[in-house]
Amino acid sequence: MSRHGIHRALPAISGRRKAIVLSVLSVTAVGGITATMMPLIAAEVPPITLSAVADTTVTQVPQDGDNGIKTTLASCPQLCDGNRNGRRDAVLEFQVRGLPADAVDVKASLRVYAWQQFSSRVRAHAAQGTAVGAGAWDYRPALGPVLSAVDRVAQGYNEWDVSAAVTGNGPVTFALTQENWNTRIYWASRENAKAAIRPSLVLTYQRGDRSPTRPPATTAAPTTAAPSPTRTSPSPKPTRTVSPPAPTTATPRPTPTVRPGTDVPGWRLVWSDEFTGPTVDLKRWNLRDNEGRDIDKGCNVDDPDNTFVADGVLTLRAQRETAVCSSQTRQYTQSYLDTIGKASFTYGRFEMRAKSPNGPTDSKGLWPAFWLRPDDGGKGEIDVVELPGGASLHGAATQAIFYDYTPVKQDQRWDFPTGYPGDGFHTYTTEWEPGVIRWYIDGRQVWQRDRSTTPWFDEAFNKPFNLRLNFQVGGWLGDPDAATRFPADFRVDYVRVWQR
């Protein structure tokens, strides 16, 4: 709303009548200005309290172990407990959401709990990077400017004004650095069993426009059915009795976007499949057929109904249909590709851009994945990503490594801060180097394993591995139910491999 001034020319009025008229006009003018300015006064709204999505202690002391899973964070100066290389910084990451477009006067307060009081100055910095990980010093986020400081740590919650770092919705990371008091201060982490003392970010703001907020009108995207691929020369197929297919909606092609570049600083592209041909490239991939495994409920089949390329996208399709494979009758068919004997790599950067088929109500028992296994078939497995379905699983992506299948393994599930893997195409990347493996989702590091976190790291990850891309139905995470939707499509935009 714009302000309006009052501009009037008064006729020549003398004496008391002029004073009376001026008084009336003054009152009217003030009232008019006040009434006009009322909509400009910002409306106060309740605060937003956010929990940390990740936190860790970055440390110069490898013996600290995996700090990303501990119930406490720590801070300490460079000289810490007698160790001249003992610095520790507490790093916390939040996903800011809920700020409207017309939010003004945004204030942000970082609140972290300490069990004891200390005569120590602790500073809060903006940080560039993530709080996901074990806390290895070499991978700590870059520190930005000091946002604020507390000159004495209180028992209970301590607060820092971090407003300067919160400019809107999205991820934001902070680091607490300890200026003095050369022993560790412990803070409650997001993993602490007591929810009341976990870290939080409290946002307050005002709204500059009281007009009601309406969601933007949306138009449903047109859907076009993917063209059926041309069948190649017949290969042996499992005997099957196909039940009537469930009604399906044609899957839209991904929204046209600029493909992520293949030129990655420090890496050279050594292998890729952009899926631009008419069929699966059998010079790059093996397509498994007539295979039934004891870990799932489907038959892996080499059939263009289950694996096909169209419009630059590879589709791995799972179907509810009776099939016989490995002398077993099963109720589902599925797709499994690998590069055994065609491509293998010792170390590298492995990336896939893909769309999961899984939604919250119709995906129980569906399990697509991109992973690596050693050529010798022995110890070791690297899961770039697993995307199991179901109400409690569809919103996250799993990263994992295996020593063997007893199982000795380490894994984590990373919840998407907004959205979920099936809401569109997302990029999943793993960088495997001597002594360390890092995982990224949409360019953001979400996990790391190294020699300090994994005693068997060098034994398992020092030899050539091949690629695996498959869509499994059923298994130890659950089997499909009546609500599971078939056909279900796992759609892959590309697979790329770089090396140093």
Residue 214 confidence (pLDDT) = 36
What is the predicted pLDDT for the residue at 107?
94
Provide the domain limits for residue 137. 48-207
Q: Which of 286, 236, 242, 211 minimizes the C-alpha distance to 468?
A: 286
Count, residues in the chain: 500
Are 112 and 186 in contact by the 8 Å Cβ rule? The answer is no
197, 287: one domain: no
- Highest mean pLDDT among 41-50, 101-110, 464-473 belongs to 464-473
Q: Are residues 326 and 453 in the same domain?
A: yes
Q: How confident is the model at residue 68 (pLDDT cuts 50, 70, 90)?
A: confident
* pLDDT for res 66: 81
Sequence-separated (6 or more) residues with CB below 8 Å from residue 480: 297, 320, 332, 364, 365, 366, 473, 474, 486
Residue 333 has pLDDT above 60, yes or no: yes
Domain boundary among 182, 207, 232: 207
Average pLDDT over residues 52-74: 88
Confidence of residue 216 (pLDDT cuts 50, 70, 90): very low
Q: Which residues of 64-75 are buried (b: 16+ CB within 10 A; e: fewer)?
A: bebbbebebbbb
In a domain, 60, yes or no: yes
| Residue 26 belongs to a domain | no
CA distance 298 to 254: 27
Tokens 């996901």 belong to 132
Q: Which pLDDT score is estimated for 253?
A: 45
CATH number of the domain that residue 302 is part of = 2.60.120.200
Token representation of residue 299: 């038959």
Residue 101 is predicted with a pLDDT of 85
Last residue of a domain, one of 160, 190, 207: 207
What pLDDT does 94 receive? 93
Whether residues 328 and 198 share a domain: the answer is no
d(CA 128, CA 139): 11
Residue with tokens 């008091």: 181
Q: Is 220 contained in some domain?
A: no
Q: Which residues pair with 491 in a beta bridge?
A: 315, 355
Contact between 441 and 349 (Cβ < 8 Å): no
Q: What integer pLDDT is reported at residue 209 of this predicted model? A: 57
Our count of domains for the chain comes to 2
Pair (351, 478) in one structural domain: yes
pLDDT of residue 424: 95
At position 288, the amino acid (one-letter code) is: R
37 in any annotated domain: no
pLDDT digits (tens, 9 = 90+) for 251-277: 444 443 434 568 899 999 999 999 999
* Any domain includes 10: no
Q: Is the same domain home to 409 and 306?
A: yes
**In whole numbers, what is the pLDDT of the chain averaged over residues?**
84
State how far the Cα of 359 lies from the Cα of 210, in Å rounded to an integer.
36
Q: Is the pLDDT of residue 468 over 80?
A: yes
In a domain, 200, yes or no: yes
User: Does 288 lie in the same domain as 150?
Assistant: no
Q: Which of 163, 191, 207 is the C-terminal boundary of a domain?
A: 207
pTM, rounded to two decimals: 0.53
**pLDDT score of 476 more than 50:** yes
Same domain, 287 and 382: yes
Same structural domain, 200 and 273: no
Mean pLDDT over 480-489 rounds to 97
pLDDT digits (tens, 9 = 90+) for 444-464: 999 999 999 999 999 999 999
- For the stretch 277-328, pLDDT in tens is 999 999 999 999 999 998 999 999 999 999 999 999 999 999 999 999 999 9
Judge residue 413's burial from the number of C-beta atoms within 10 Å of its C-beta, 0-12 exposed, 13-18 middle, 19 or more buried: middle
What is the pLDDT averaged over residues 102-124?
93
Residues 302 and 440 occupy one common structural domain: yes
Neighbour count for residue 113 (Cβ, 10 Å):
22
pLDDT confidence bin for 44, thresholds 50/70/90: low
If asked whether residues 190 and 297 sit together in one domain, one would say no
Query: Is the pLDDT reported for residue 225 higher than 60?
Result: no
Residues 335-387 have pLDDT tens digits of: 999 999 999 999 999 999 999 999 999 999 999 999 999 999 999 999 999 99
Gap between the Cα atoms of 415 and 434, Å rounded: 28
- List Cβ neighbours of 50 (8 Å cut-off, separation of 6 or more): 94, 95, 96, 97, 200, 201, 202, 203
Q: How far is CA 350 from CA 154, 180, 437, in A?
A: 46, 43, 11
Residue 42 pLDDT more than 50?
no
Looking at the predicted structure, is the pLDDT value of residue 499 above 70? Answer: yes
Average pLDDT estimate for 109-130 = 93
Hey, what are 354's tokens? 């893909």
- pLDDT at res. 71: 85
What residues have CB less than 8 Å from 458, skipping those under 6 apart? 435, 451
| 460 shares its domain with 366 | yes
pLDDT of residue 64: 84
Query: Does residue 291 share a domain with residue 194?
Result: no
Which CATH number does the domain housing residue 143 bear?
2.60.120
Q: Which residue has the higher pLDDT, 433 or 477?
A: 433
pLDDT on residue 75: 96
| pLDDT tens figures, 161-203 | 999 999 889 889 999 999 998 999 999 999 888 889 999 999 9
Residue 24 lies in a domain: no
Asked if residue 56 has pLDDT above 80, the reply is yes
Instruction: State how far Cα 357 lies from the chain centre.
Output: 17
Residue 233 has pLDDT above 70, yes or no: no
| Residues of the chain above pLDDT 70, percent | 81
The residue type of 364 is K
Q: How many whole angstroms separate alpha carbon 281 and alpha carbon 469?
A: 14
pLDDT value of position 395: 94
**Mind listing the pLDDT tens digit for each residue in 143-170?**
988 999 999 999 999 999 999 999 889 8
Whole-Å CA distances, 215 to 97, 212, 218, 357: 16, 10, 9, 27
Position 3 in a domain: no
> Alpha-carbon distance 416 to 358, whole Å?
14
Contacts of 47 (CB under 8 A, 6+ apart): 202, 203, 204
Secondary structure, 3-state, the chain: CCCCCCCCCCCCCCHHHHHHHHHHHHHHHHHHHHHHHHHHCCEECCCEEEECCEEEEEECCHHHCCHHHCCEEEEECCCECCECCCCEEEEEEEEECCCCCCEEEEEEEEEEEECCCECCCEEEEEEECCCCCCCEHHHCCEEEEEEEEECCECCEEEEEECHHHCCCCEEEEEEEEECCCCCCEEEECCCCCCHHHCCEEEEEEEECCCCCCCCCCCCCCCCCCCCCCCCCCCCCCCCEECCCCCCCCCCCCCCCCCCCCCCCCCCEEEEEECCCCCCCCCCCCEECCCEECCCCCEEECCCCCCEEEECCEEEEEEEEEEEEECCEEEEEEEEEEECCCCCEECCEEEEEEEECCCCCCCCCCEEEEEEEEECCCCCCEEEEEECCCCCCCCCEEEEEEEEECCCEEEEEEEECCCCCHHHCCEEEEEEEECCEEEEEECCEEEEEEECCCCCCHHHHCCCCEEEEEEEEECCCCCCCCCCCCCCEEEEEEEEEEEEC
